[in-house]
Amino acid sequence: MQRLCGVVAAFVAKSKHPIYDRKAKCGVWRTILSRVNPAGDMLLMVQTTTVKEEDRPAFTEPLVAELAASGLNITSIFQIFNDEVTDAARPNAVVTHLHGKPRLEMPMLDLKLEIGPLLLSCAKWYLKLRKTDVTSQHVVIGVDIVEENIEDARRNAQQNSISNTEFIAGKAEEVVPKILGDMDTSLEVVAVVDPSRAGLHPRLVEILRGRTQVLRIVYISCNVESMAEDVAKLGSSTEEEADDFVPVRTVAVDSFPQTVHVEAIQLLERASIVEDPRKRRAAKKTAAVGDEVEDAVEPEAADQAPEKTEETEE
């Protein structure tokens, strides 16, 4: 990664195009995203502001030549246009394939996946399928706002002979309510959510909390602050007898080394299926008190034993 940053930084420094300035809202160069598979093959996506169509060949050809000659085993290069203030590009942002293969081959457990420049999260649905021995009676449904991601997910499912999946393109806050509304209330649902840095849409929070089929939520987040807000909302219903969600376990994953950012994964379960930690602590305290009482009684019994033996001998 450091070698890649060095190559890109040197190229940008020689470029006549400036780096994007958020305050001035001008410039061209923004970010570069890389994905590397176990074989060392690298997929790159260069993010810039929109370049005029007539200027694109002069802009991209020297960049591709520099990256291809870097010796970093770069097999795919894409460019994405983003004119927003933040680096989070819109779902309908223009993505152009500049060089190499259209997808990166990414083996995962016993699966063979092909990952495009935008596909990041659909693989975790497949992991659940294979590792939990899901039968044909179970269905895994994936929702993503980017149509390309849905197409890649369907293709990966087909290539790995996974038939009990369904993938839907659309906004989660619009699609998920219909999915859960059509389900039998006796079904048990595990929801895996991976929202943007802004967190879950308020409507989606209400749906997940209010639909009794959803027993567990696996929350994946690149912004722990918005995740904490959503977790609080999922566990604070205004209804008196509501079965709200309780955070059970959190794991931090350092996906962004040498930065202040961290990826977090949190498991939430309904309060009705989670043991109250206060009861567990009370039980431990009671057991500890019982042990202290036994320790206090045993020495006295030991002192009395020799006296009985002496009387017997007399």
How far is residue 54's CA from residue 145's CA, in Å, rounded to a whole number? 30
How far is residue 86's CA from residue 65's CA, in Å, rounded to a whole number? 28
Chain segment 240-276, per-residue pLDDT in tens: 778 999 999 999 999 877 788 889 999 999 999 887 6
Strands (DSSP E) contained in 89-213 are: 95-100, 104-108, 111-115, 140-144, 165-169, 189-193
Lowest-confidence segment of 192-206, 244-258, 286-300 by average pLDDT: 286-300
CB atoms within 10 A of CB 196: 14
194 has binding-site annotation: yes
Q: 5, 26, 122, 222: which one is catalytic?
A: 222
Is the distance from CB of 180 to CB of 145 less than 8 angstroms? no
Is the distance from CB of 77 to CB of 98 less than 8 angstroms? yes
Note if 222 is an active site residue: yes
The yes-or-no verdict on residue 120 having pLDDT over 70 is: no
CA dist 243 to 33, 88, 234, 240, Å? 41, 35, 10, 9
243 has binding-site annotation: no
| Average per-residue pLDDT for the chain | 83
Beta bridge pairs of residue 48:
29, 81
Lowest-confidence segment of 42-46, 81-85, 125-129, 300-304 by average pLDDT: 125-129
| Whole-prediction pTM | 0.72
Distance of CA 161 to the CA centre of its chain: 24
